[in-house]
Amino acid sequence: VVHPNWWGQPPAILKGWVDRVLRPGIAYEFLEGDSGEGVPKGVPKGLLKARTALVFNTSNTEPERERDVFGDPLETIWKNCILGLCSVANYSRQAFNIVVTSSEDQREKWLNDVKKSIEMFFPGVKN
């Protein structure tokens, strides 16, 4: 998944895709006795067959500010609210900051970092 950080969230079009694709019965299911409110055990059962996910974000916020002031909401959203809920246990997220003042060399390095992450998490994937 690749997206910009928009107000601490994925863009609306990606949020809409998540809502339409990662649905009950496909990405997760509610346990017996749970009508969607998270009881009795509090956590739906994840159904996705994928076990690994990579998320890459671009941002114009300093990483320290994102973490210390805002609590890194994208980490929580992807790790806990979406992928963890759907049983994707092997997760990595990289944020590329600050895009607006980055140089061409910096952006090239970021692209190489993405390539290395893909090769590490998905060794059989070819360029």
**Domain of residue 116, CATH code:** 3.40.50.360
Which domain covers residue 22, as residue numbers? 2-121
74 sits in which H/E element: helix 73-76
Residue 54 forms beta bridges with which residues?
92
Q: Give the Cα separation of 94 and 2 in Å (integer).
A: 10
Q: Mind listing the pLDDT tens digit for each residue in 62-78?
A: 999 999 999 999 999 99
On whether residue 127 sits in a domain, the answer given is no
On whether residue 16 sits in a domain, the answer given is yes
On whether residue 38 sits in a domain, the answer given is yes
Bond before 98 cis per omega within 30 degrees: yes
Q: Mind listing the pLDDT tens digit for each residue in 17-27?
A: 999 999 999 99
Count structural domains, the chain.
1
Q: Mind listing the pLDDT tens digit for each residue in 88-112?
A: 989 999 999 999 999 999 999 999 9
Q: Check residue 105 and give its pLDDT.
A: 98
On whether residue 126 sits in a domain, the answer given is no
